[in-house]
Amino acid sequence: MAQHTPSHSSLVTVLSRQALRSRSPPHPPAHAYTKNVSGCIRTYLGGAALEKTMSVTQLRARGVPQPVPRVTADTLLQKKLSSHPITAITAYDYPTARLVDDAGLDMVLVGDSLGMVVLGYENTLPVTLEEMLHHTRAVARALRRAFLVADMPYGSYHASIDDATRNALRFIKDAGAQAVKIEGGSQRAELVRRLTEAEIPVVGHIGLTPQSVHSMGGYRVQGKTLAAMDRLAADAQALEDAGAVAIVLEGIPRELAARITHQAAVPTIGIGAGPDCDGQILVFHDLFNLTFSPPTKFTRQYADAAAFFTSALTQYRDDVAQHRFPTDAESYHLSREVQSAVATAHPRARKA
């Protein structure tokens, strides 16, 4: 066991007094949080934060009045009626959802594309209810304005209507979603009706429905024949009649999307369905080159986040490997008082 010499214990006393003095100040008032959202960046650029001891995300202030009204299903309908395009994107976590919300998009979908773009699954089929709930909660904590829709994963609404209703309620009650999305047309009409009766707004999803990858025989554009066009138009009508508040049209010809959009009383939101839908949605990772694959025909890459991250990561790796990070300025220091106590206690210790 180590011998506690008097000089060692006095060092301990000095250190604990020091620790007491340097305790974090009380939390700043609520309004200070929103002003300091760039704290991490400012720290990196030169260090405005004096003694920020944890790299934590600055959360939104709670209990502060919302400066902007929340987008609702009715807001989306008003946009359709006034021919203002609905802007939508997927998000799966707190920081990206917050960026999306601050950028003013109308709708955020916690899509089960999560399985492929975030969790590394081969397709959306293995995504579980618990995974979707977990990510929906994170996104809900970030959003103030955007309409939050959560995807019901494969298997969570296929066994029975009662089972599906219980699962859908969890998205609204526990996870903070404002609506759920389910894939399928006429065959889901009864379910949409029951969920709507349970006060759960439902977004339908027809066309290329990724959860049907096996029955579709792959990811193929749907609705390319006259019969298939009529079927999809009837599906949209059935969803609308059952109470769906909006319908996602995925992977269908522009002409069919235009026909459905024109006929539907509820907004259509397209992905790979051309420009005539009432709104557009894309997968977040497609916009930023974060899918490790070439962009598809219907996506547009707005920035190369992969190149941005890779450049920063290799610089960081090199800085550590070459002893350039961290510098003395990026290190904490003992006070002069404690330094001299250390020098007295350990006279032969090497000076830093």
What DSSP element (H or E) covers 26? Answer: none
Closest CA to 154 of 127, 176, 179, 194: 127
State which of positions 7-36 bind ligand KIV (CB under 6 A): none
Residue placing its CB nearer to ligand KIV in the complex, 107 or 172 = 107
Cβ neighbours of 229 (radius 10 Å): 18
* In the complex, minimum distance from the CB of residue 99 to ligand KIV, in angstroms, rounded to a whole number: 17
Which 291-330 residues touch ligand KIV, going by CB under 6 A? none
Q: How far is the CB of 109 from ligand KIV (least distance, A)?
A: 6
CB closer to ligand KIV out of 14 and 101: 101
**Least Cβ distance, residue 37 to ligand KIV (angstroms):** 27
Considering 131, 183, 240, 250, which one is annotated as catalytic? 250
The answer to whether 248 contacts ligand KIV (rule: CB under 6 A) is yes
**Nearest distance, CB of residue 214 and ligand KIV, angstroms:** 17
Applying the rule CB under 6 A, the residues between 167 and 196 that interact with ligand KIV are none
* Residue 250 known to be catalytic: yes
Q: Which long-range contacts (CB under 8 A, 24 or more apart) does 152-156 make?
A: 152/112, 152/180, 152/181, 152/182, 153/112, 153/115, 153/124, 153/127, 153/128, 153/129, 153/211, 154/112, 154/124, 154/125, 154/127, 154/211, 155/129, 156/129, 156/132
CA distance 223 to 296: 19
Find the part of the chain contacting ligand KIV (CB under 6 A) among 58-66, 110-118, 296-304, 341-349.
110-118
DSSP codes of every residue in 67-126: SSPPP-HHHHHHHHHTTPPEEEEE--SHHHHHHHHHTT-SEEEE-TTHHHHTS--SSSTT
Among 96, 113, 261, 280, binds ligand KIV (CB under 6 A): 113
Q: How near is the Cβ of 285 to ligand KIV at its closest, in Å?
A: 10
Chain contacts with ligand KIV (rule: CB under 6 A)? 90, 109, 111-113, 151, 248, 250, 271, 281, 283
**Residue positions annotated with a catalytic role:** 250
